[in-house]
Structure 1
Amino acid sequence: MAKNSLFAILLRSPWWISFVIAIAIVAACSALLPKEIWPFAALGAVPIFIIGCMAAWRQLKAPSGAKVEAIRAEAAAMSWKQFSTALEAAWKNEGQNVQHIADRVVDLRLEKSGTITLVSARRWKAATHGVESLKELDDAVTRLKAQYGVYVVLQGSLSDTARAYATEHGLLLLEGDALAAMLLKSKPRNT
């Protein structure tokens, strides 16, 4: 799905927006079209209603803002060993085979269904994240014959140049809410 398609935008929007649009389509069809055909035209609202249901489901399952902030604060207080263990547990919960790598750039190697992903997470608490770290990760992805590279950012800011480099070279940035959701997966289910 294209990043800026109507459906992608509605999936990222609050769930009720899709329902309002679907209701507006049905209302417009019933008001403007002959009574014999408006129900058929109103069926055009069904995909938008379904997107609303999908958005509602995602938003219902998403962690609350308070929980996200709590996990970020907890991660910021972790040592590298604790943080690395939490990432490893989260990826194992997703079915990934996780290996620690003794490399100056790459920290973890993930493998699932033959797809290899390299993770650079050691600079997770850096104040600034520049393009140099991403270039090193990109070189490691090529050198170690992996399909993907993931760069982890918990604190600090990622420069616009670095963000553009990551997009251009297909590197994934694990930061913000996505990182918090990932770390929540490392927690036991009963907490």
Structure 2
Amino acid sequence: MKFKMAEKSLFAVLLRSSWWISLSIAGVIALASKALLPPPYFLFGAMGGIPFVVIALITLWRQLSAPSTAHVEATLTQINAMPWREFSAALEQALLREGFEVKRLESPAADFELFKGGRHVLLSGKRWKAARLGLEIFQALEAARSVSDASSCICVSAGEVTDNARQFAASHQIRVIQGTELAQLLRPVLIAKAAA
């Protein structure tokens, strides 16, 4: 069973923020404990900052292991230069690396069916090169999801998603993979391919 944290919880917000913010909160808790608690209880009060130190370490590790902006841009440029056959093969390999069982579809709305841990997901990626993705692709994906009884959908795009489309995707729990996330997903596959 996978634990899912609420996106607006304090810890979720801190995990998306810079590492030093969590470390600062831990420091403030330690200083407040020193100032407000009797000496025998200072250590117990200061231990309240331990979760924030852990979050700071997790966030620091994520930030250090994330690819640089130059790597992301180079990967996205490489992705945009690919024909569909090459892009879909790289995407399929990346999804297999993520532990999904992947089945290709011949559907105008979805290109792959993904299975993992009892979940059934539809993925649309054929329009990854479009400069802007509008509402129609997300509506078609949602219609395909309801017909196939998939639990959720993913749309892959190297371009921009319009505000209306992004709102529709959020309200129908369609995950949009683009930019840095797309580069991080495909980069290991592209590096392995280049090395082969």
Q: TM-score, normalised by structure 1?
A: 0.92
Q: Does 1:62 align with 2:66?
A: yes
Query: What's 1:184 paired with?
Result: 187
Letter in 1 for 2:71: K
Runs of 4+ in 1 over 3 A off after TM superposition: none
CA contact (8 A) 1:109 1:119 kept: yes
Tell me the secondary structure at the aligned position of residue 189 of structure 2.
coil
Structure 1 position 44, deviation (Å): 0.9
Residues 186 and 19 from structure 1, CA distance in 2 versus in 1: closer, same or farther, beyond 3 angstroms?
same
Contact 1:93 / 1:185 at 8 angstroms: preserved in 2?
no
Q: Deviations over 1:114-154 (max 9, x none)?
A: 32111111111112211111010001111122111111110
In structure 2, what is the equivalent of residue 171 of structure 1? 174
1:81/1:182 CA distance change after superposition, 3 Å = same
Q: Deviations over 1:49-92 (max 9, x none)?
A: 11111112222222222211111111011111111111001001
Aligned equivalents of 2:45, 2:71: Cα separation in 1: 43
**1:90 and 2:107 aligned:** no
1:142 equivalent in structure 2: 146
Distance, in Å, in 2 between the alignment partners of 1:71 and 1:77 is 10
Partner of 2:124 in structure 1? 120
Structure 1 distance, partners of 2:92, 2:57, is 32
Q: 1:73 to 1:46 in 2, by over 3 A?
A: same
* CA distance in structure 2 between the aligned counterparts of 1:115 and 1:33, rounded to whole angstroms: 50
Kindly provide the CA deviation profile for residues 5-60 of structure 1, in whole angstroms up to 9, marking residues without a partner as x. 21111111121221122122212221232212221111110111111111122222
AA aligned to 2:161 is L
Structure 1 unaligned segments of length 5 or more: list them.
none
1:140-175 superposed Cα distances (whole Å, 9 cap, x missing partner): 1111221111111102x2111111111111111111
Whether contact under 8 Å (1:153, 1:174) holds in the other structure is yes
CA RMSD of aligned residues (A): 1.7
| Greater shift in the superposed pair: 30-39 or 136-145 | 30-39
SS in 1 for 2:154: strand
Q: Deviations over 1:81-117 (max 9, x none)?
A: 1111110010011121112111111111111233211
In structure 1, what is the equivalent of residue 163 of structure 2?
160
**1:89/1:185 contact within 8 Å kept:** no
1:41 aligned partner: 45
Q: Which has the higher helix share?
A: 2
Name the CA distance, whole Å, in 2 between partners of 1:114 and 1:43. Answer: 39
| Pick aligned residue for 2:78 from 58, 66, 74 | 74
List alignment gaps of at least 5 residues for structure 2: none
In the other structure, the counterpart of 1:31 is: 35
